[in-house]
Amino acid sequence: MSIPGLGQLAPQATASTNRTISLTPFGEWRFDVPRSSTAGVKVRLVSGTAERDGVELALSQTYTFVHTMKSKLFTWTGCTLEISGDCNDSVKQYPVVEDSPMVSYGNLHFELQKLRTEADTLAARSGRRPGPRVMVCGPPSSGKTSLARTLTALATRMHGQPLVANLDPGEGLLSLPGTLSAAVFGNLMDVEEPAGGFGVGSTPSSGPSAVPVKLPIVYYLGREKVNDDVQLWRDLTRKLASSIRAKFNEDEAVRCSGLILDTPAVSLEPVEIENLALAVREFAINVVVTLGSPKLELELQRVFAQETTPLGEVISILMLEQSDGVQQRDKHFAQFTREAAIKEYFFGDAKRTLSPSTQSVSFDEVAIFKLPDDSEDYDPSQISDTPQILEPAEITAEMSHWTLAVMNASVNDPPETIRKAPVMGFIAVADVDEDRRRLKILSPVTSRLGNRPLVWGRWPEPYINLLG
Ligand SMILES: Nc1ncnc2c1ncn2[C@@H]1O[C@H](COP(=O)(O)OP(=O)(O)OP(=O)(O)O)[C@@H](O)[C@H]1O
Per-residue pLDDT tens digits for 381-408: 666 656 678 899 999 999 999 999 999 9
Instruction: Tell me, using a 6 A CB cutoff, whether residue 161 lines ligand 1.
Output: no
Ligand 1 atom, smallest distance to 142 CA: 21
Query: SS3 of 142, please?
Result: coil
Instruction: Tell me, using a 6 A CB cutoff, whether residue 265 lines ligand 1.
Output: yes
17 labelled binding-site residue = no
Q: What is the structure's pLDDT at 10?
A: 44
Q: What is the structure's pLDDT at 238?
A: 98
Q: What is the structure's pLDDT at 350?
A: 73
Beta strand 316-320 with 287-291 is parallel
206 labelled binding-site residue = no
Instruction: Tell me, using a 6 A CB cutoff, whether residue 102 lines ligand 1.
Output: no
3-state helix, strand, coil in the chain (%, to 5): 25, 25, 45
202 labelled binding-site residue = no
Contacts of 193 (CB under 8 A, 6+ apart): 199, 201, 202, 349
Q: What is the structure's pLDDT at 30?
A: 98
Return the H-helix or E-strand segment holding 369: strand 368-370
Instruction: Tell me, using a 6 A CB cutoff, whether residue 11 lines ligand 1.
Output: no
Q: How far is the CA of 367 from the centre of ligand 1 (A)?
A: 39
Return the H-helix or E-strand segment holding 28: strand 28-33
Instruction: Tell me, using a 6 A CB cutoff, whether residue 151 lines ligand 1.
Output: no
384 labelled binding-site residue = no
Instruction: Tell me, using a 6 A CB cutoff, whether residue 356 lines ligand 1.
Output: no
Q: What is the structure's pLDDT at 205?
A: 60
Question: What does the DSSP assignment read for 243-261?
Answer: HHHHHHHH-HHHHHH-EEE
Helices (H), 283-364: 294-303, 331-347
Q: How far is the CA of 337 from the centre of ligand 1 (A)?
A: 14
Q: Which of 33, 327, 328 to probe ligand 1 with, by most ligand atoms within 8 A of CB?
A: 327
Instruction: Tell me, using a 6 A CB cutoff, whether residue 205 lines ligand 1.
Output: no
Q: What is the structure's pLDDT at 159?
A: 95
Contacts of 400 (CB under 8 A, 6+ apart): 429, 430, 431, 432, 462, 465
Instruction: Tell me, using a 6 A CB cutoff, whether residue 150 lines ligand 1.
Output: no
Residue segments in the chain with a per-residue pLDDT below the cut of 50: 1-12
Longest CA pairwise span in the chain (Å)? 70
Per-residue pLDDT tens digits for 40-74: 999 999 999 999 999 999 999 999 999 889 999 99
Instruction: Tell me, using a 6 A CB cutoff, whether residue 89 lines ligand 1.
Output: no
Q: How far is the CA of 298 from the centre of ligand 1 (A)?
A: 23
144 labelled binding-site residue = yes
243 labelled binding-site residue = no
